[in-house]
């Protein structure tokens, strides 16, 4: 997924959003953080629900990219493809926490699409992905003739970092998605991008989730980093959620890390896009140090690739910075067993 991946973060809940609102009210990997006129909504802090467990994290508020596709989506005019998206989205909605994740019987065309993306990307990983990604990647046994099932992925992650994936039907509200990270859970789609463009998707699909995100979820230091974002989101104000959304965007989606004097990718938006990964490797974008306390710039989502990447010196350093920021805004505390308690 290239810079246009922004649909994961920037599209709104109405299916006709692209035609109706070209001002592109930005939202995170969740709902729009601004209204149609561009203003962020006000919220009474006392009305914010703070989940005490994953069971209280709502994965049912889908704002887009389940079955409804925008006019610029490669599959917009493909009725069979849209019907297939409905089927897979319904399976995700029916899953209950604690139960095995239902398997998707991927079609030959979907397996081909997965294989095309995987085969091209694996050639770039040894040179341009960070060492943590390359170290974890073999543990999942990805192969071009089989699309992995989320239950298989969860089994591997639990043995390595005690994280898990949870199926979701489409684009979640940002607060709910970030809240899930506090409970060591990554919400993942299961549908496949359109076969006409196997190297591109305008939304989070199973290729982006599994190749971009999952290998990093097997690294303990990286998991500390995203867990810090999740804990900070519990009870956060809308303004703080907006700030955390940007922090997530510039690290988990498009972050890079310094490694032996070279810049390597760890963000899923880079690692799941052949074009974005090649762009990063050629040094086309400017590099800036990541500081979660600073005002984060507007997220770039228009056609083309990212014009800047924020650099971490290490994941341990990034986790420390985010934990310090989280401590400055947190409304609750979480013990080692994942129990949420008031401060």
**How many residues comprise the chain?**
343
Would you call 73 a catalytic residue per the annotation?
Answer: no
249 HSE (CA, 13 A, CB side): 28
**DSSP assignment of 170-200, as one string?**
SEEPHHHHHHHHHTTEEEE--PPPPTT-TT-
Q: How far apart are the first and last CA of the chain?
A: 40
272 is catalytic: yes
Residue with tokens 């998605």: 177
Query: How would you label 263-301 residue by residue, b for 16+ Cβ within 10 Å and e otherwise?
Result: bbbbbbbbbbbbbbbebbbeeebeeeebebeeebeebbb
User: Quick check: 290 and 267 in contact, CB under 8 A?
Assistant: no
Nearest by Cα to 233 from 329, 317, 318: 329
Active site residue 300: no
CA 240 from chain centre, in angstroms, equals: 18
**Which 3 state secondary structure label does DSSP give 261?**
coil
Identify the active-site residue in 73, 208, 227, 243.
Answer: 208
| Candidate list 27, 89, 272, 273, residue with the active-site label | 272
Annotated active-site residue in 173, 187, 213, 227: 213
Is 227 marked active-site?
A: no
Treating both helix axes as pointing N-terminal to C-terminal, what angle do 220-233 and 174-182 enclose, rounded to 10 degrees?
130
State how far Cα 309 lies from the chain centre: 17
Which one from 132, 203, 253, 323 is the annotated catalytic residue?
253
Please give the positions annotated as active site.
208, 213, 253, 272
């Amino acid at each position: 997924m290239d810079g246009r991946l922004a649909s994961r973060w920037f599209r709104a809940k109405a299916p006709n959003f692209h035609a109706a609102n070209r001002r592109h009210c930005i939202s995170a990997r969740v709902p729009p953080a601004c209204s149609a006129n561009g203003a962020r909504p006000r919220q009474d802090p006392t009305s914010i629900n703070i989940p005490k467990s994953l069971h209280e994290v709502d994965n049912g508020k889908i704002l887009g990219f389940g079955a409804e596709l925008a006019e610029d989506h490669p599959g917009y005019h493909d009725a069979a493809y849209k019907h297939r998206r409905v089927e897979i989205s319904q399976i995700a909605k029916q899953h209950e926490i604690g139960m095995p994740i239902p398997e998707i019987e991927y079609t030959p065309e979907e397996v081909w699409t997965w294989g095309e993306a995987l085969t091209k990307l694996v050639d770039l990983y040894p040179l341009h992905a960070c060492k943590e990604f390359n170290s974890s990647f073999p543990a999942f046994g990805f192969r071009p003739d089989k699309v992995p099932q989320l239950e298989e992925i969860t089994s591997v992650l639990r043995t390595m970092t005690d994280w898990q994936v949870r199926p979701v039907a489409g684009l979640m509200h940002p607060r709910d998605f970030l809240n899930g990270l506090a409970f060591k859970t990554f919400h993942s789609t299961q549908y496949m991008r359109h076969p006409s463009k196997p190297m591109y998707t305008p939304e989070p699909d199973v290729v982006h989730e599994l190749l971009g995100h999952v290998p990093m979820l097997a690294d303990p230091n990286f998991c500390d980093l995203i867990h810090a974002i999740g804990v900070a989101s519990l009870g956060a104000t809308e303004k703080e959620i907006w700030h955390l959304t940007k922090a997530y965007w510039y690290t988990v989606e498009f972050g890079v890390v310094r490694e032996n004097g070279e810049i390597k990718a760890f963000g899923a938006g880079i690692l799941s896009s052949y074009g974005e990964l090649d762009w990063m490797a050629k040094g086309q974008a400017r590099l800036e140090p990541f500081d979660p306390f600073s005002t984060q710039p507007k997220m770039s989502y228009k056609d083309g690739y990212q014009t800047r990447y924020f650099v971490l010196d290490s994941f341990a350093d990034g986790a420390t910075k985010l934990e310090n920021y989280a401590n400055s805004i947190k409304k609750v505390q979480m013990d080692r067993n994942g129990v949420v308690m008031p401060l």
